[in-house]
Amino acid sequence: MNTRTALRKPLFKRLMAASALLGATLVAAAAVPAPSDAAPAAPQARVVDAKWRADFEAFDAADKARPVQPGGVLFVGSSSIRLWDDLEQQFQELPVLVKRGFGGSQLSDCAAHLDRLVVAYQPRLVVLYAGDNDLNAGRTPQQVFDSYQQFVDGVHRALPDTRIAYVSIKPSPSRAKLLPQVREANALIRQRAAADPRLDYIDIYQPMLGADGQPRAELFREDRLHLNAQGYALWHQVIARHLR
């Protein structure tokens, strides 16, 4: 055996080993489905916060007892909606009306749970009141607006033709120190609503102020935060003009 042949043998063995390794790798890769062929991951169910569990269970029970027909008017939001005891009677001319308020909730909570609170009912109109508690919790007017935009975008992705009427944040005597932030948040939302015919802005802020520019105490309960019958009568008068 000459020197050249002796040098070729180790090289040949190395090439054969590399070829075998490459072949095994290609076979193994072929056995793994391409990403486009993989089954999509199951959607994650949104977990309802423990503090809302009783409210959502009550909604479920009401839906089972009396299934909601699509195409109605949905009132959704915080305790100002939940505590409106005679809402159904005041708007009895509406053939389908659904009330889904959960006390203490923020506008961000409404946006987070809109599939269950809104999309499930397929309403033609959503009347939304929230944002009051957001500001009281330290969120900025811009953050309130961002949650409003998230709510609007989420509803219109699922229900493009559904109208959304936002009831402005009310001026509460107990939260008078927040009035500048309330006015700023209301202005941001009002401007956004004016840019889309599917959106509406219902101003209850101004009618709830007295001649001195301060919240009208006679419209509120003893806690100076929640509305009394006179306050809800005013809301009905203002909101009714926007239902069509």
Is 8 a residue whose pLDDT tops 50? no
Question: What pLDDT digit, counting tens, does each position of 88-132 carry?
Answer: 999 999 999 999 999 889 999 999 999 999 999 999 999 999 999
Helix (H, G, I), strand (E, B) or coil at 236: helix
What the block records as the tokens of 192 is: 């956004």
CA-atom Rg of the chain in angstroms: 29
- Alpha-carbon distance of 159 to 108, in angstroms, equals 19
Beta strands, E only, 48-205: 73-77, 97-101, 125-129, 163-167, 199-202
Q: Looking at domain 55-240, does it have CATH number 3.40.50.1110?
A: yes
Quote the pTM value.
Answer: 0.80
- pLDDT per position as a tens digit, 185-220: 999 999 999 999 999 999 999 999 999 999 999 999
Show me where the domains of the chain are located. 55-240
Q: String of b and e for 44-64 (b: at least 16 CB within 10 Å)? A: eeeeeeeebeebbeebeeeee
According to DSSP, the residues that pair with 125 across neighbouring strands are 73, 163
